[in-house]
Amino acid sequence: MKDDEAPERGSRDLVMESHFMAIGFWYRVFGVMTFLSAAFLILTSATKGGGIKEAVGGEFPIVFVLLFSSVLQFSIGHYMSKFSNSARLFCIFALVIALAFTVWSIANSTGGLSGIKRIVSIAVPSILVFFSLSMIYALSIPRAARVCRKEYLELLKNTPDQKSRPVDSPFFYGFMIIIVAGIAGNLILVVK
């Protein structure tokens, strides 16, 4: 079976399982990173003399957004790895919103930039647009819905000898490329 072909009925779709596991892995990683960002924000605000109460409640309401986001990301990742259809649908919804925001930011953030900085400010988010579209496609096709069905989950229990791994999915490495491109792009934009 090739990667782009659906498996026969009654057999496992290890390729699609790998996609779910890779996306789930990175959503959990980003959930932890977002939580650590909120904790860092609270601690840095508290050390500036305001105290934790002011940091969480008054000065930085963004902390609540970060904490909520971290729980949401981690939950999506956890349930994606368990092939939950609700997590799949919510992930598609979140990707569409993120995609819209990314396209909007590409259209509105290049003013005043020229040369390599303008190219980077368009190229790096464009990688994210392509990647988001590919994830939306992969999670929207019937093969993805099949992996979330009750019958398929029973098949998983009956075939423990077959294993799928997140590293077998291009989405596992795609997130790494986006992280590296984002860091490199930000460094280029910061350098004068």
> pLDDT (tens digit, 9 = 90+) per residue, 155-167?
988 888 888 899 9
User: 39-53, 70-84, 123-137: which has the highest mean pLDDT?
Assistant: 70-84
The position carrying tokens 């997590």 is 87
Instruction: Tell me the pTM.
Output: 0.80
Provide DSSP, 140-158: HSHHHHHHTSHHHHHHHHH
The position carrying tokens 């799928």 is 164
Q: What is the CA radius of gyration of the chain?
A: 20
Averaged pLDDT score across all residues of the chain: 83
> pLDDT (tens digit, 9 = 90+) per residue, 108-141?
776 666 777 777 777 778 888 888 899 999 999 9
Q: Is 114 or 179 the better-scoring residue by pLDDT? A: 179
Average pLDDT over residues 57-65: 70
> pLDDT (tens digit, 9 = 90+) per residue, 6-29?
566 678 899 999 999 999 999 999
With cut-offs at 50, 70 and 90, classify the pLDDT of residue 1: very low
CA distance 25 to 108: 31
DSSP state of 48: I
Q: Domain spans of the chain?
A: 14-190
Torsion of CA 27, 142, 18, 3, to 10 degrees: -140
Residue 178 parent element (H or E): helix 170-190
State both tokens at 5: 């072909």
Alpha-carbon distances of 176 from 23, 53, 64, 181, rounded to whole Å = 12, 36, 27, 8
With cut-offs at 50, 70 and 90, classify the pLDDT of residue 74: very high
CA distance 9 to 130: 31
CA distance 171 to 19: 6
Is pLDDT of 35 > 80? yes
Rounded to 5 degrees, φ, ψ at 29 are -60, -45
